[in-house]
Amino acid sequence: MIEISGASAHKFISHYHAPDCIMASKAVEIEATMSHEVAQILLPRIIASEGEFIFDHDVNIELNSVRKLLLDYFGGISNFYEMTVGVMKVLAASEKNISEGEVYMTAFDQIIYDQKPCQAVGIFKIDGKQSFIESSLMDDQLTMTLNKGIGIKDLNKGALIILDSDQNEMILKVFQNHPDIKYWRHQFLMIRPLENEFYQTKNTMNLCKDFALKGLNEMAKVDQVDLLNKTVDYFSEKQSFDQSEFEEEVLASTDIKAAFNSYKDSFEEKHQIEAMSEQFEISKPAFKVAKKYIKSVIKLDRNFHVYVHGQRQEIERGYDEVRGKNYYKLYFDQES
């Protein structure tokens, strides 16, 4: 859990990424009267992004350039300005076709991670600024100027690197406007998901959703929706996930259990997941994220949508030979 309500920003610099990058000559110290407000402008969107990440490398973690630059800065080997220039060089080398724009880097204090106050550095890519009107009224005289600046929505990509002082390692929160852009996470930062409760909950719910919809070809749509509803109920009501318990309470059938475990193996291979845990604490934030993509609806031609939220026994499916059409029969007490 990351808390930013008391966070403050104390150093800031803006470089410009282009074919010939323009480096600012020095960083600025943010005045105490502005430090909290600046943090509250830059941080909320990135904190709201899904999941947490750690640095990675295909060969050796020590070869991750951004990680090395940040460790040197946090360890006092380099100063803030030197670190930011190094980060810009790594960014420029990571991809040839990165759009031009400013890159803000900011040093933060009092970001709470795992109930501990931590230092952090934010890296924010801005592809364009918005125009805004600034007016001033003094002695009955109104002046108006047109300026350009940024708001929260103008931060196109971001990374917040938090130093976990107890472990001398770093945790990242990352966002980008376009998920299909690969360079920010893979070529520049070189990161992978932190395999915590959020990661496990999200992956397992995605597995269950995919299995219900694709894992059993012979399963009727109404039974798929029933399986989805039971999955959502399990994650909503339980504090922890236990696969054996889940199989007994949700899957029930021996054949479905076997099919689930077989599908899990192919799911891990397809999504390059080393091994999904069979027991973990359920992350309620991850549950809410995954639940948004689970739809308990049966679509019938173009005319009807049947929303099913439980009570599978009150729904019957059949075939009318006279009309030559399928039908659903619903049993209910009240109509509204």
How do residues 121-139 score in pLDDT, each as one tens digit?
999 998 877 777 888 888 7
Specify whether the CB–CB gap between 155 and 164 falls below 8 A. Answer: no
At residue 268's C-alpha, the angle toward residues 267 and 270, to 5°, is 65
Q: How confident is the model at residue 163 (pLDDT cuts 50, 70, 90)?
A: very high
159 and 203 part of one domain: no
User: Is 85 part of a structural domain of the chain?
Assistant: yes
Per-residue pLDDT reduced to its tens digit, 45-100: 899 888 899 999 999 999 999 999 999 999 999 999 999 999 999 999 988 888 89
What is the C-alpha separation between 193 and 73, in angstroms, rounded? 23
* Residue where a domain terminates, one of 179, 194, 209: 194
User: Is 335 part of a structural domain of the chain?
Assistant: no
In 3D space, the residue among 55, 45, 160 whose CA is nearest the CA of residue 112 turns out to be 160
Per-residue pLDDT reduced to its tens digit, 300-336: 888 888 888 888 888 888 899 999 998 989 888 888 7
Identify the domain containing residue 123 by its residue range: 2-194
* Residue where a domain terminates, one of 194, 209, 224: 194
Specify whether the CB–CB gap between 92 and 17 falls below 8 A. Answer: yes
User: Is 320 part of a structural domain of the chain?
Assistant: yes
40 and 177 part of one domain: yes
Cβ neighbours for 174, distance < 8 A, ≥ 6 positions apart? 46, 49, 53, 158, 159, 160, 184, 185, 189, 191
What is the C-alpha separation between 243 and 269, in angstroms, rounded? 19
207 and 174 part of one domain: no
The residue-averaged pLDDT of 188-195 equals: 91
Q: What is the DSSP letter of 6?
A: T
What is the crossing angle of helices 284-291 and 221-237, to 10°?
160
28 forms beta bridges with 12
Kind and range of the H or E run holding 198? helix 197-210
User: Is 336 part of a structural domain of the chain?
Assistant: no
User: Is 244 part of a structural domain of the chain?
Assistant: yes
Q: What is the per-residue pLDDT for 306?
A: 85
Unique residue bearing structure tokens 């059949």: 318
128 and 40 part of one domain: yes
Q: Is 283 helix (H, G, I), strand (E, B) or coil?
A: coil
User: Is 261 part of a structural domain of the chain?
Assistant: yes
Number of structural domains (the chain) is: 2
Q: What is the per-residue pLDDT for 167?
A: 64
Q: What is the per-residue pLDDT for 124?
A: 94
User: Is 91 part of a structural domain of the chain?
Assistant: yes
204 and 181 part of one domain: no
140 and 183 part of one domain: yes
Q: What is the per-residue pLDDT for 313?
A: 84
79 and 228 part of one domain: no
Higher-confidence position of 80 and 219: 80
Q: What is the per-residue pLDDT for 37?
A: 93
Q: How confident is the model at residue 231 (pLDDT cuts 50, 70, 90)?
A: very high
Specify whether the CB–CB gap between 78 and 69 falls below 8 A. Answer: yes
Give the DSSP per-residue string, 238-273. -SEEEHHHHIIIII-SHHHHHHHHHHHHHHHHHTT-
Share of residues in the chain with pLDDT > 70 (%) = 98
User: Is 313 part of a structural domain of the chain?
Assistant: yes
186 and 41 part of one domain: yes
Neighbouring C-beta atoms of residue 261, cutoff 10 Å = 13
178 and 206 part of one domain: no
What is the C-alpha separation between 66 and 241, in angstroms, rounded? 35
What is the C-alpha separation between 65 and 87, in angstroms, rounded? 8
88 and 133 part of one domain: yes
pLDDT at 187 over 80: yes
161 and 272 part of one domain: no
pLDDT at 161 over 90: yes
* Residue where a domain terminates, one of 194, 214, 244: 194
185 and 225 part of one domain: no
Residue type, 232: V
What is the crossing angle of helices 284-291 and 197-210, to 10°?
30
